[in-house]
Amino acid sequence: MSDIAVIGLGAMGTALAEAFLEKGHAVTVWNRSAAKSGLVAAKGAIVARNVEEAVRSSSLIVACLLVYDTVHEVLGPAGDALSGRTLVNLTNGTPEQARAMSVWAAQCGADYIDGGIMAVPPMIGGQNALILYSGSRQAFDDHAGRLDALGTSKYLGEDAGLAPLYDISLLVGMYGLFAGVLQALALTGKAGIPAGEFMPLLTSWLQAMQGGLPKWAQQIDSGDHTANVVSNLGMQADAYVNLVDASKAADVSTELVLPMQNLMRRGVAAGMANADLSSLVGLLSKQGS
Ligand code: NDP
């Protein structure tokens, strides 16, 4: 018997298997393309001949495949073998997909934990790799000692959809930041300013702006977006026009900046000009899509 079976040896699955091996766990692996097993086999992993053999090798099954359809495709035929085991699915997906997977795992007689990996493969095994988990509390408690090999574990609750919800929400925040950075670099790049010259200013500015976000949390939780406002929405909506106009004048695409302008205008039209920008969360929540 192995301690852990890792299903999927892409960039992330390989990093997960390596982290388990480095902590001294006995690991069995399976991957569709057998050639990718060589790296972890050289570090001591046992290579299973098929998925069912991998599943039967361990009480803890960690799946990290491309998308949820892949997980169903790969593990579906081995459903019976999952009975009495714990499936930890670290594949990126939606809360709905995680809940459906949880139901399927229960039908197979398995405990289910969904996970979200907030790290890139080289970070796995270090404390900066945050791994979000949700689903069976009992199974998480039973296996936390092993899962901690991957990074810093954070258990969010019994609802299997919580880990992907947090995961996706964190990624949305990241992509919003990246979108702004891309626009800034396109604008400055058009003016011939090297990215390396502008980037230090940009990163320190973004860091400074993050300081205001805890206040947003208070405003959103209390529902009061109007106390001690220093940069009201009306002022920001007027200034934002300049971002759009400057982009157009420089022949830089406005596709990333226009959606935010539309939302700000909607907020002003809804009578929120004197509120803080945090009030826009309410408009997004009522969108219904
Ligand atoms: P890769 O593209 O490197 O690997 C994909 C894995 O899925 C491989 O094991 C591949 O097998 C397998 N796979 C794909 N399609 C099939 C199929 N039809 N049947 C069987 N196996 C299949 O992706 P990563 O390892 O980087 O990512 C895995 C998961 O981790 C994803 O959900 C991703 O979103 C998530 N993740 C990745 C991060 C990263 O930075 N890489 C960061 C955080 C999360 P084969 O080798 O045979 O192609």
Is-same-fold flag (4-158; 166-285)?
no
Q: Is the CB of 228 under 6 A from ligand 1?
A: no
How much of the chain exceeds pLDDT 70, in percent? 99
Cα angle 181, 12, 158; round to 5: 90
CA of 9 to the centre of ligand 1 (A): 7
> How many alpha carbons lie under 13 Å from residue 83 in its C-beta half-sphere?
5
Report the largest interatomic distance among the alpha carbons of the chain, rounded to a whole angstrom. 66
Pairing, β 4-7 against β 46-47: unpaired
- CB of 34 within 6 A of ligand 1: the answer is no
- 32-41: per-residue pLDDT in tens? 999 999 999 9
pLDDT tens string 229-272: 999 999 999 999 999 999 999 999 999 999 999 999 999 999 99
pLDDT single digits (tens) 70-86: 999 999 999 999 999 99
Q: Is 12 in the pocket of ligand 1 (CB under 6 A)?
A: yes
pLDDT at position 289 over 60: no
The answer, yes or no, to whether any atom of ligand 1 lies below 6 A from the CB of 171, is no
Assigned CATH topology for domain 166-285: N-(1-d-carboxylethyl)-l-norvaline Dehydrogenase; domain 2 (1.10.1040)
- Residue 286: pLDDT band (50, 70, 90) is confident
Is any atom of ligand 1 closer than 6 Å to the C-beta of 116?
no
**Domains of the chain: which residue ranges?**
4-158, 166-285
CATH class of 4-158: alpha beta
Residues 164-211: pLDDT tens digits?
A: 999 999 999 999 999 999 999 999 999 999 999 999 999 999 999 999
pLDDT at 288: 47
In the predicted model, what is the mean pLDDT of residues 5-34?
Answer: 98
Ligand 1 atom nearest 118 alpha carbon = 43
Exposed/middle/buried for 121, CB within 10 Å: 0-12, 13-18, 19+?
Answer: middle
Ligand 1 site, residue 73, Cβ cutoff 6 A: yes
Neighbour-count burial of 279, counting CB atoms closer than 10 A to its CB (0-12 exposed, 13-18 middle, 19+ buried) = buried
Q: In ligand 1, which atom is closest to the CA atom of 9? A: 9
210 CA distance to ligand 1 middle (Å): 32
Ligand 1 center–CA 182 separation, angstroms: 26
Closest CA to 264 of 256, 253, 276: 276
Nearest CA to ligand 1 atom 31: 66
This prediction's pTM: 0.94
* Ligand 1 contact, 70 CB (< 6 A): yes
- DSSP-derived secondary structure letter, 242: H
Q: What is the pLDDT of residues 85-116, one digit of tens each?
A: 999 999 999 999 999 999 999 999 999 999 99
Q: Is the CB of 32 under 6 A from ligand 1?
A: yes
Q: In what order do the strands lie in the sheet with 111-118?
A: 46-47, 27-30, 4-7, 60-63, 86-89, 111-118, 130-135, 152-155
pLDDT at 287: 64
CA of 54 to the centre of ligand 1 (A): 17
